[in-house]
Chains A and B, each alone.
Chain A
């Protein structure tokens, strides 16, 4: 299971990636959406964990770009902004994707990743 982590908070996203790697999860991370597109092109990750609010390009726009490259990719959204707008976009626009408010418990995030992973595995891909 390959994970792509994108968040403008470098400290946060790097620590998250390291914790995943310690658990044997293949996780790439970046703080810029542009780089994320490049990484996705190279690796075609199974799941992308995106921050909703980032400078230059938000998580929802990035999702559209990534979907073009890897149509099979699943998404989890993170946000520190629990405002109404974010809530609405999180619950309606993201459709089947998951939506978590920071700070999120690492175990919760892992559970969600596994849930999506097992579903994808059920589909016979990238187990």
Chain B
């Protein structure tokens, strides 16, 4: 038997196999399926929908939170960087406004100013004054750059044109990244001169490196060609070209998402540091890292969803199976009750008919009996005929035939009169023989060997004769159906224990297959369906035995025969005390018909 058979509910195979008035009212399998699918649908679908909605809403919220935070960070950092640059440009501007040209031409004064700048702002490396011809006329700093010609340099042309200049980052002579700030100042009558300062980038680098970006993020500056101006953690070193696209110009801080990137999707915040600087601030974060907490809760949510679906399914399957089973059992009881009612009705009609027949026959029998008796009396008393044994013999045969007929009607009556009759003391062997009397002719025709053996110590028992007759008749009929002509049926009556007796009906018929043994007491189980069997005989027999407080068991071996064992209590319901003296139902007691008829009973 496979696993499927184990977990399959008992109603599964019932379907509506039987038609007619005793068919089951419902298609249990269909009800079960309908219940399971409907309940699953109305519980699981809303759950899934809720989860999907929650999934989307929480993801959108998380994403917008990330974008908002990045925007804020970009905007703050941009302000810091812009301030850093502004501060230095303003300082140079101040110097050139404050000191007249002749003062600045003085290298000592220039060195003094450089020292002040270093002390106040830090990061200034050198300071030079260039006239409008591009010649450096004064220089304070570590190199001998006095008199250097800058007329053709790009920055000089630019500062001459715009008045102020801020360079990209470059390595310079010392191989340290730095940048140049140059400010132009007019000189009478129509010339100009330029104050130029070199600023190292350490301060700016530190400012960006110290930012808490989050999500393995990076904050750095690039120029408008995409060359890194400050070092980055994972996008290259200073003066390297970044792999990312240079974002388009925007006045405000912007955040965009790059979905296709080697390390997964990125969130990039950027801002142009004023329109007059070459710098673009970039803050780059890995989106997957940022969404980490949300992903964790997503996993939990999905786990909860699938767990819930599993538990709901189990509960629905179990609950539906249980409920449909209850319906099935109730319907089964109904069908059984219908059958039992029909059976009871049949038995009652049979009883009424038997009683009617017996009554109709008994009256004429009584007449024959008395008339024959009178004839006998007259013959015996008549002197002439007294010694004619032939006539007396003939009359005796008539009386004997009447006795036989009355035996038959008596059996019919006793069979009919079973329900509601009080329990009586009876001899089981006698009851068995009585029942065998009904089917005696069949046994004779089929040459069946039927024996009844009763152990010495089996007492009379107090029970319901009618029910016992039905039980025995069913079992004997069953055995007769199982054996072939010339077969054997042995009925053995033994004492089971102090309060019970046991009857064994053993035949040598074809036996019952093992798989059928469990089912033979179930209603409608029959191997004779279509051949006159209703499948009810043994189930009713089982019910009758239980009504008498006994038990019915079966043992069978295929091809060798079957033994039905009936175990009956010695007393039915009431205490057994009456069983021993019940025989003295004498003068002051009513005499039961059986007892009253004992003289006419022939065996």
* Chain A interfacial positions (CB closer than 8 Å to B): 9, 11-12, 15-16, 18-19, 22-23, 53, 78, 80-84, 87, 90-92, 94-96, 98-108, 115, 119
Q: Which chain A residue has the least Cβ–Cβ distance from B369?
A: A103
Using A83-B413, A87-B417, A101-B362 as known contacts, say yes or no to A19 and B596 having CB atoms under 8 A apart.
Answer: no
- Across the interface, which residues of A come within 8 angstroms of B405, CB to CB? 103
What are the nearest 6 A-B pairs in CB distance?
A80-B362, A82-B413, A15-B370, A102-B366, A91-B590, A103-B366
- Across the interface, which residues of A come within 8 angstroms of B371, CB to CB? 11, 15
Decide: B410 and A101 in contact? CB cutoff 8 A.
yes
Decide: A83 and B355 in contact? CB cutoff 8 A.
yes
- Across the interface, which residues of A come within 8 angstroms of B31, CB to CB? none
Using A9-B367, A12-B367 as known contacts, say yes or no to A81 and B359 having CB atoms under 8 A apart.
Answer: yes
Residue of A84, A90, A98 with most chain B CB atoms under a 10 A cut-off: A84
CA distance A41 to B597 in the complex (A): 32
CA distance A19 to B374 in the complex (A): 6
Decide: A90 and B590 in contact? CB cutoff 8 A.
yes
The B contact surface, by secondary structure, is helix
B:367-417 near A, CB below 8 Å? 367-371, 373-374, 377-378, 381, 402-403, 405-406, 409-410, 413-414, 416-417
Decide: B402 and A87 in contact? CB cutoff 8 A.
no
CA distance A69 to B409 in the complex (A): 36
- Across the interface, which residues of A come within 8 angstroms of B351, CB to CB? 84
CA distance A107 to B355 in the complex (A): 25
- Across the interface, which residues of B come within 8 angstroms of A91, CB to CB? 590, 592
Q: Which chain B residue has the least Cβ–Cβ distance from A97?
A: B590
In the complex, whether B588 has a CB less than 8 A from a CB of chain A is yes
Beyond the given A84-B355, A103-B370, could you list 5 further A-B residue pairs with CB under 8 A, ordered by the A residue number?
A: A81-B355, A96-B587, A98-B596, A99-B590, A103-B368
- Across the interface, which residues of B come within 8 angstroms of A87, CB to CB? 417, 421, 593
CA distance A15 to B371 in the complex (A): 6
Chain B 334-355 interface mask (CB, 8 Å, partner A; 1/0)? 0000000000000000011001
Decide: A11 and B367 in contact? CB cutoff 8 A.
yes
Q: List 11 A-B contacts (CB under 8 A).
A: A15-B373, A53-B359, A80-B358, A80-B363, A80-B366, A102-B363, A103-B362, A103-B369, A104-B597, A105-B369, A105-B599
- Across the interface, which residues of A come within 8 angstroms of B97, CB to CB? none
CA distance A100 to B352 in the complex (A): 20
- Across the interface, which residues of A come within 8 angstroms of B413, CB to CB? 82-83, 101
Decide: B596 and A100 in contact? CB cutoff 8 A.
yes
- Across the interface, which residues of B come within 8 angstroms of A107, CB to CB? 599
B:14-61 near A, CB below 8 Å? none
- Across the interface, which residues of B come within 8 angstroms of A99, CB to CB? 590-591, 593, 596
Q: Which chain A residue has the least Cβ–Cβ distance from B598?
A: A108
Decide: A102 and B365 in contact? CB cutoff 8 A.
yes
In the complex, whether B534 has a CB less than 8 A from a CB of chain A is no
Decide: B599 and A12 in contact? CB cutoff 8 A.
no
Using A90-B590, A99-B590, A108-B599 as known contacts, say yes or no to A83 and B406 having CB atoms under 8 A apart.
Answer: no
- Across the interface, which residues of A come within 8 angstroms of B366, CB to CB? 9, 12, 78, 80, 102-104
- Across the interface, which residues of A come within 8 angstroms of B359, CB to CB? 53, 80-83
- Across the interface, which residues of B come within 8 angstroms of A9, CB to CB? 363, 366-367
Decide: B363 and A92 in contact? CB cutoff 8 A.
no
- Across the interface, which residues of A come within 8 angstroms of B600, CB to CB? 103-105, 108
CA distance A94 to B596 in the complex (A): 15
> B201 to chain A: closest CB distance in Å?
122
> B527 to chain A: closest CB distance in Å?
35
In the complex, whether B419 has a CB less than 8 A from a CB of chain A is yes
> A67 to chain B: closest CB distance in Å?
18
- Across the interface, which residues of A come within 8 angstroms of B410, CB to CB? 82, 101
Q: Which chain A residue has the least Cβ–Cβ distance from B378?
A: A22
In the complex, whether B420 has a CB less than 8 A from a CB of chain A is yes
Decide: B592 and A12 in contact? CB cutoff 8 A.
no
- Across the interface, which residues of B come within 8 angstroms of A84, CB to CB? 351, 355, 416-417, 419-421
Decide: B590 and A92 in contact? CB cutoff 8 A.
yes
CA distance A100 to B373 in the complex (A): 18
- Across the interface, which residues of B come within 8 angstroms of A90, CB to CB? 590, 593
> A36 to chain B: closest CB distance in Å?
18
- Across the interface, which residues of B come within 8 angstroms of A101, CB to CB? 362, 410, 413, 593, 596-597
Residue from the list A19, A23, A82, A104 in contact with B358, Cβ < 8 A: A82
CA distance A108 to B405 in the complex (A): 17
CA distance A85 to B3 in the complex (A): 57
Q: Which chain B residue has the least Cβ–Cβ distance from A18?
A: B374
> A55 to chain B: closest CB distance in Å?
13
- Across the interface, which residues of B come within 8 angstroms of A106, CB to CB? 369-370, 373
- Across the interface, which residues of A come within 8 angstroms of B591, CB to CB? 98-99
Decide: A96 and B363 in contact? CB cutoff 8 A.
no
Using A80-B363, A82-B358 as known contacts, say yes or no to A103 and B596 having CB atoms under 8 A apart.
Answer: no
